[in-house]
């Protein structure tokens, strides 16, 4: 496959301004309120064109391999681009500096910002526990992935991504904070994980325990509780949990209400599984989804363990009862709805069938997100898990380890989209499941495919979805935090499978 090439973004060290730099030469300032659709940058005036200085062949790289200063090298020209507050600064051949908009002292601003950025990110990377680097992978790739992901946020305030994903309606998407906090834990920065989760719980969890987002899945609440359970094993973790026990209890109460058949709309007192949204894009396709119920079960176990740690006997007993009953209900439902070849259903329905993963909208999303999250929950047996993994590999679920995504099955009216793409932002749960199952070779293949084909090879930039196998591969949708953190996150999972 061809390597991927597309834009990068330059963040402001103070967290509010972002510039997008295109391979074509165009540079755009991202507005504070982004347009809610893709492929719109070409419809507004660009700020400048760097190809006026470098018209021929060029190479791209980050300064020192990971600092958020883009170096564009032409035959006789070196351009260095960085963002300082509202200003985009361009230094040419180490001498002249231009500022957009104009600044009284662009050279001084460039030098001061470069020094501050270098100190900030060098200190951060230097305090990380470095991972083992796979053979043939660049030693700075994991560093760049972390810096790009963390640079997109407004201090502690999350952003799902840039471009379209800089629109504030995406800020509260739980997978962004879940991936970020998990990677911070894995790289030795528990205090930063605590700090970011502090903010998320205060800003985005409402009084009824629900997430202030347009389409949260029930699985995401379970994932958040499981992550907070892991906080308890960190230095200072029990104190952090104690200070947040009330907001976590509200989340649990919300999930318990959603189990109530007289509240959730099912009306069937004998069926205590949770109907709900399976994923934000498919929030219009309700139903009893297996991954949702498996993760609520896992979340109840996490809350039980938290309650035990904090000596909350009532909460402990309630969570234990909910988890045991939900496990019994879900196991019974799975056993009653297995496919003829023994595959666990992603939807508990008498009409359930599973053919090719690219066949229907829901089967595309099942391969993309529902099944990876179900595997990661730990609810299934090893045999059930391996059958799902084999189905992904034999029913057109992947390409070079990446998740294959049939856009025309999902968006049949969008004729600008290629028929197929690869969409890896939700792949981390799948990789974590492979690690837990000891499937080291499969995990290596996943990591290698992501590194080579879902990220750019020069700047290690990862987008939400990318073109599959086309002559010039580009991003389909915009850059996002969870995709950018896949590589460093899965390197840690790989270490857990070492003989």
DSSP, residue by residue, 129-180: -PPPPPTTS-TTHHHHHHHHHHHTSBTTB---BSGGGGSGGGTT-HHHHHHH
Residue 295 has a CB neighbour count (10 Å cut-off) of 31
- pLDDT per residue, tens digit, the chain (499 aa), is 999 999 999 999 887 899 999 999 999 998 888 877 766 665 567 899 999 999 999 999 999 999 999 999 999 999 999 999 999 999 999 999 999 999 999 999 999 999 999 999 999 999 999 999 999 999 999 999 999 999 999 999 999 999 999 999 999 999 999 999 999 999 999 999 999 999 999 999 999 999 999 999 999 999 999 999 999 999 999 999 999 999 999 999 999 999 999 998 888 888 899 999 999 999 999 899 999 999 999 999 999 999 999 999 999 999 999 999 999 999 999 999 999 999 999 999 998 999 999 999 999 999 999 999 999 999 999 999 999 999 999 999 999 999 999 988 888 777 677 789 999 999 999 999 999 999 999 999 999 999 999 999 999 999 999 999 888 899 999 999 999 999 999 999 999 998 7
| Helix 486-495 / helix 141-151 crossing angle, nearest 10 deg | 130
Annotate 342-361 with DSSP letters as a single string.
Answer: -PPPSB--TT-----TTSSH
Query: Residue 42's pLDDT is what?
Result: 58
* Residue 473 phi, psi dihedral angles, 5° rounding: -80, 130
Residue 55: both structure tokens together: 């018209």
Distances in Å between the Cα of 356 and the Cα atoms of 29, 281, 361 are 42, 20, 11
Q: Is the peptide bond before 101 cis (omega within 30 degrees of 0)?
A: yes
Query: Residue 258's pLDDT is what?
Result: 95
Query: Residue 39's pLDDT is what?
Result: 63
According to DSSP, the β-strands at 96-100 and 18-21 are unpaired
Q: How many helices (H) and strands (E) does the chain have?
A: 17, 13
Residue 432: both structure tokens together: 């974590």
Annotate 471-495 with DSSP letters as a single string.
Answer: SSB-BSS-BBHHHHTHHHHHHHHHH
Residue 88: both structure tokens together: 């985009």
| Helix 174-186 / helix 190-204 crossing angle, nearest 10 deg | 160
What's the CA gap between 142 and 181, in Å, rounded? 16
Query: Residue 396's pLDDT is what?
Result: 95
Please give the helix or strand (H or E) that residue 82 lies within, else none.
strand 78-84
Q: Are the beta carbons of 166 and 38 closer than 8 angstroms?
A: no
Query: Residue 34's pLDDT is what?
Result: 81
| Helix 106-126 / helix 141-151 crossing angle, nearest 10 deg | 120
Q: Are the beta carbons of 220 and 299 closer than 8 angstroms?
A: no
Query: Residue 45's pLDDT is what?
Result: 79
- Whole-model pTM? 0.96
Query: Residue 33's pLDDT is what?
Result: 81
What's the CA gap between 244 and 197, in Å, rounded? 10
């Amino acid at each position: 496959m061809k390597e991927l090439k597309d834009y990068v973004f330059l963040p402001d060290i103070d967290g509010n301004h972002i510039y997008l730099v295109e391979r074509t030469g165009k540079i755009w300032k991202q507005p504070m309120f982004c347009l809610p659709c893709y492929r719109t940058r070409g419809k507004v005036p660009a700020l400048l064109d760097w190809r006026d200085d470098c018209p021929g062949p060029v190479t791209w790289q980050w300064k020192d391999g990971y600092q958020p200063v883009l170096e564009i090298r032409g035959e006789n020209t070196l351009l260095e681009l960085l963002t300082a507050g509202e200003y985009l600064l361009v230094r040419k051949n180490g001498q002249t500096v231009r500022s957009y908009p104009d600044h009284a002292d662009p050279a001084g601003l460039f030098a001061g910002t470069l020094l501050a950025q270098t100190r900030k990110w060098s200190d951060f990377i230097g305090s990380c526990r470095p991972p083992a680097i796979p053979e043939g992978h660049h030693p700075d790739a994991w560093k760049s992935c972390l810096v790009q992901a963390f640079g997109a946020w407004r201090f502690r305030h999350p952003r799902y991504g840039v471009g379209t994903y800089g629109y504030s309606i995406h800020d509260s998407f739980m997978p962004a904070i879940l991936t970020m906090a998990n990677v911070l834990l894995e790289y030795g920065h528990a205090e930063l994980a605590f700090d970011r989760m502090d903010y998320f719980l205060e800003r985005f969890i409402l009084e009824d325990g629900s997430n202030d987002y347009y389409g949260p899945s029930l699985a995401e609440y379970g994932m958040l509780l499981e992550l907070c359970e892991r906080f308890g094993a960190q230095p200072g973790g029990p104190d952090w949990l104690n200070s947040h026990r009330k907001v976590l209890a509200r989340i649990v109460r919300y999930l318990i209400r959603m189990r109530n058949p007289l509240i959730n709309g099912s009306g069937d007192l004998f069926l205590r599984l949770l109907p709900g949204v399976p994923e934000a894009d498919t929030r219009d396709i309700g139903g009893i989804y297996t991954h949702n119920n498996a993760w609520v079960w896992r979340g109840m176990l996490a809350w039980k363990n938290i309650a035990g740690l904090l000596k909350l006997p009532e909460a402990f007993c309630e969570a234990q009862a909910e988890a045991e009953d939900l496990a019994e209900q879900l196991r019974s439902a799975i056993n009653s709805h297995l496919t003829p070849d023994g595959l666990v259903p992603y939807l508990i329905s008498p009409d359930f069938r599973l053919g090719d993963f690219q066949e229907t909208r829901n089967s595309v999303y099942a391969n993309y997100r529902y099944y990876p999250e179900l595997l990661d929950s730990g609810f299934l047996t090893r045999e059930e898990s391996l059958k799902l993994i084999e189905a992904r590999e034999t029913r057109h679920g992947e390409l070079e380890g990446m998740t294959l995504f049939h856009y025309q099955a999902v968006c049949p009216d969008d004729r600008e989209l290629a028929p197929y793409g690869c969409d890896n932002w939700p792949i981390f749960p799948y990789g974590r499941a492979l690690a837990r199952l000891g499937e080291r070779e499969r995990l290596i293949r996943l990591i290698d495919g992501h590194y080579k084909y879902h990220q750019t090879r020069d700047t290690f930039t990862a987008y939400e979805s990318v073109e599959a196998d086309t002559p010039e591969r580009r991003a389909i949708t915009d850059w996002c935090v969870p995709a950018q953190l896949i590589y460093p996150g899965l390197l840690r999972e790989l270490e857990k499978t070492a003989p």
